[in-house]
Amino acid sequence: MNLRKLILVSFVVLLVCQMGFAQVTAANRAMTMVQATGKPTPVVPAALAKGPMHPTIWLTRSLGSKPKLVAGEPWFCDFNNGSQVAICPKGLTTAYQVSQIIGANGGAGMTIAILDFFSYPNAESNLGQFSSDMGLPACTTANGCFTSVDISNGNDGTGTGWDLESMLDLQYAHAMAPKAKLVYVQGDPYSYGYEAESIAALGCPASSFCAQYGLASSPAGDVVSNSWTYNAGEIPSLDPYWNLGKPLLFASGDASAWPYYSVTGYPCTSVYATCVGGTSLYLNPNLTRNAELGWAGAGGGCSDNFGIPSWQGSVGSGVCSPMRAAPDVGAIADPNTPVAVYICNIYWTCGYYGVGGTSVATPVLSGLVANLDTARVSFGKGKLTSFAPRLYPAATANYNYFFFDVVSGFNGFYAGPQFDLITGLGVPTGKNLGNRFFGLP
């Protein structure tokens, strides 16, 4: 590092210290660090997070405030400019074969619940700009697609980093399942989130916590996307709260497996959760997958408190026996192969940013679940009530048909054939996994 850059980085560190690690400046801190170092940076590191949770999101670069459209998408998308700058909706739906799932119809008829913390008043308008630029259907309150449920107790998250997290989650759930409805639940950042999780999964009045927040009516999610983890690791006493009879997808975290070789991404290690790890995704010019590797930053390892769930069976359980192994599956997360996220408020210059973290993988796979649900209903089957327990029998039946095997990468553990502690079983193959789920009860 040259002297000039060293001085700049030192100034940034001093500035952060002077701000008392105030989370309200997370947007400025993250962008300044990226500009100073030229490297991705976590937007809200656990050490700076207010409350018991932190998002699992990294900022990599600004992509511009007024993107030129090329072939129906902004210039930085996929291979519009001749190289992979950022991955956008067309790239993800093509690489993960979502559009090839028979009967999926873009997740029509399903509701994806997005649970984040702090409120973000600009969410609907920012989602609208993203949808317009990316050629996606509008998802608004007026057309019945978008519902905002604010139980944050007046904690505005604009500028905290949770605003960027929220836009990532909403935009890429919508990208993967453009006909599904979205319910955006903004939880109290100073709670432990289980009340908001119940409301996201069950809706109101079904959830026992509705009266606590004065909610008479809110939609239930058919799948819940959770791009966050606890700062304090596993909390076994909270585990019963995640037993909600819905697929709950949680991010494995972005601190890799170091330094203790164990998962710190709880509730991801709950036996009631599907734990989502991270990959680096490289596309071909036609947007199919060129390569996918385990991301070094992805959380993974062996639970300290939870034994092997019966559904994990022999596939992967031996790695951590007799404890639960995580994650269960993986998807795009590396901030060096980022997705493009739009945000606009007083703290962020209005425009697109390259974003990574297991916060990407979680809404991406939640959108996949919505597509699988729609396909199942079209074949006369019921909606999924869980996801991870269905994946391990599929791996046993025909691994190479249902999963892309990630065999390279190191997060403290090495990726290897079939199950590993970076990407779990690997990346679900959307089209083929859909075929299996059509016929299951």
**Cβ neighbours for 260, distance < 8 A, ≥ 6 positions apart:** none
At 46 the pLDDT is: 73
At 362 the pLDDT is: 98
Query: Cis before residue 322, ω within 30 degrees of 0?
Result: yes
Dist CA 20 CA 34 (whole Å): 20
At 259 the pLDDT is: 54
**Cβ neighbours for 338, distance < 8 A, ≥ 6 positions apart:** 40, 60, 61, 86, 87, 354, 355, 356, 360
Mean pLDDT by 10 residues, the chain (441 residues): 42 37 64 88 82 92 87 89 93 94 95 98 98 96 98 95 97 98 97 97 98 97 97 92 98 78 81 97 95 96 91 78 93 97 95 96 98 94 94 91 95 93 94 78 58
Q: Decide if 129 contacts 399 (C-beta within 8 A).
A: no
At 321 the pLDDT is: 87
Q: Decide if 217 contacts 205 (C-beta within 8 A).
A: yes
Comparing CA positions, the residue from 368, 286, 337, 340 lying closest to residue 99 is: 368
Strands 73-74 and 69-70 turn out to be: antiparallel
DSSP string covering 10-25, please?
A: HHHHHHHHHTTT-GGG
Dist CA 85 CA 93 (whole Å): 17
List the structure tokens of 339: 């997705």
At 6 the pLDDT is: 40
DSSP annotation of 384: P
At 147 the pLDDT is: 98
Strands 248-251 and 223-226 turn out to be: parallel
346 three-class SS: coil
At 49 the pLDDT is: 80
At 260 the pLDDT is: 57
280: left (phi over 0), alpha (psi -120 to 50) or beta: beta
Dist CA 152 CA 160 (whole Å): 14
Q: Position of tokens 């709670």?
A: 191
pTM score, whole prediction: 0.93
